């Protein structure tokens, strides 16, 4: 297993988050990782600090000729041309023995299969930036039954397990929901933290302290929910004493439709993921 090589086509924030998490978990130097991106030779790249543990290249073809697992982590509009280059240039045997993985919202197994002209060696993974602190979440959607591909998939899962909670094997439609919840969710939580901190600043607290306490309050609350398996409403009710400050604040949140706004945000992100999938699928016809 130790000789299995993993490659990322793309070196953006979501890839950097995984690299940071694996480094924090003291596991980055135990795997063979290559990243292909235009800034591979840029000394200012944030990935350069790991140059003694990862390989960097600007050639997608070179990466695919040396890696057993290849994850697409670039903008959706770039994928088709990259796939066409790989399908044209890679040896057919090589092409069919790589486990290709989409971590791009909307990039489905069928679309990637069509562009690469290969089957049974493509899966999807969704994970979030929280892997940077070994506290992420991820899920896998897979149709592959090939024994070698299963072996590669299990190896990749063992790596993600170092930095994230495994939500399970899901359908592609469920993965689009997870794109909204775990992929976009951190941004939604940051918006909530920012709003809470702004309120504290308005009341007179310093910006630095307000930001820190708002973030740590959310962190502590999440820990309690996960550890206790309590329903959020139960914990909310435990905190809300009759006639106290919390229930007055909750009344304002209800008046402003905050819960509905979060539900709408998830649905908007989910619908966007499916729209992106439809747009990419149309490009296969």
Residue 120 among known ligand-binding residues: no
Task: Please check whether residues 132 and 154 belong to one and the same domain.
Answer: yes
Task: Please check whether residues 62 and 88 belong to one and the same domain.
Answer: yes
pLDDT at 263: 97
pLDDT in tens, 97-115: 999 999 999 999 999 999 9
Which pTM value belongs to this model? 0.91
Report, as an integer, the average pLDDT of 40-61: 84
Domain hosting 213: range is 178-272
- Here the CATH number for the domain that contains residue 197 is 1.10.3730.10
Q: How confident is the model at residue 10 (pLDDT cuts 50, 70, 90)?
A: very high
Task: Please check whether residues 74 and 139 belong to one and the same domain.
Answer: yes
Q: Please give, one letter per residue, the 3-state secondary structure of the chain.
A: CCCCEEEEECCCHHHHHHHHHHHHCCCHHHCEEEEECCCCCCCCCHHHHHCCCCEEECCHHHHHHHCCEEEECCCHHHHHHHHHHHHHHCCHHHHHHCEEEECCCCCCHHHHHHHHCCCCCEEEEEECHHHHHCCEEEEEEECCCCHHHHHHHHHHHHHHCCCEEEEEECCHHHHHHHHHHHHCHHHHHHHHHHHHHHHHHHHCCCHHHHHHHHHHHHHHHHHHHHHHCCCHHHHHHHHCCCCCHHHHHHHHHHHCCHHHHHHHHHHHHHHHHHHHHHHHHHCCC
Task: Please check whether residues 158 and 184 belong to one and the same domain.
Answer: no
pLDDT in tens, 173-232: 999 999 999 999 999 999 999 999 999 999 999 999 999 999 999 999 999 999 998 899
């Amino acid at each position: 297993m130790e000789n299995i090589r993993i490659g990322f086509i793309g070196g953006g924030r979501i890839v950097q988050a995984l690299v940071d998490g694996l480094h924090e978990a003291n596991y980055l130097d135990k795997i063979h990782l290559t990243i292909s991106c235009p800034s591979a030779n840029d000394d200012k790249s944030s990935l350069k600090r790991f140059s003694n543990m990862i390989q960097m290249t600007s050639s997608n073809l070179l990466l695919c000729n040396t890696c057993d697992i290849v994850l697409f982590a670039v903008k959706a509009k770039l994928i088709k041309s990259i796939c066409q280059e790989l399908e044209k240039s890679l040896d057919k045997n090589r092409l069919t023995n790589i486990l290709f993985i989409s971590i791009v919202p909307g990039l489905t197994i069928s679309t990637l299969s069509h562009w690469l002209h290969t089957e049974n060696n493509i899966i999807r993974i969704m994970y979030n930036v929280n892997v940077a602190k070994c506290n992420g979440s991820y899920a896998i959607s897979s149709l592959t039954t090939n024994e070698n591909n299963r072996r590669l998939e299990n190896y990749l899962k063992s790596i993600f397990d170092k930095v994230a909670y495994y939500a399970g094997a899901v359908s592609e439609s469920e993965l689009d929901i997870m794109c909204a919840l775990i992929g976009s969710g951190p941004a939604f939580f940051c918006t909530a933290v920012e709003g809470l901190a702004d309120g504290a600043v308005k009341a007179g607290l310093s910006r630095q302290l307000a930001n820190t306490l708002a973030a740590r309050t959310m962190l502590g609350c999440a820990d309690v929910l996960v550890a206790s398996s309590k329903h959020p409403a139960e914990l909310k009710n435990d905190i809300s004493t009759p006639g106290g400050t919390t229930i007055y604040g909750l009344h304002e949140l209800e008046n402003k439709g905050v819960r509905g706004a979060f539900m709408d945000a998830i649905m908007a992100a989910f619908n966007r993921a499916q729209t992106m999938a439809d747009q990419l699928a149309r490009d296969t016809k």
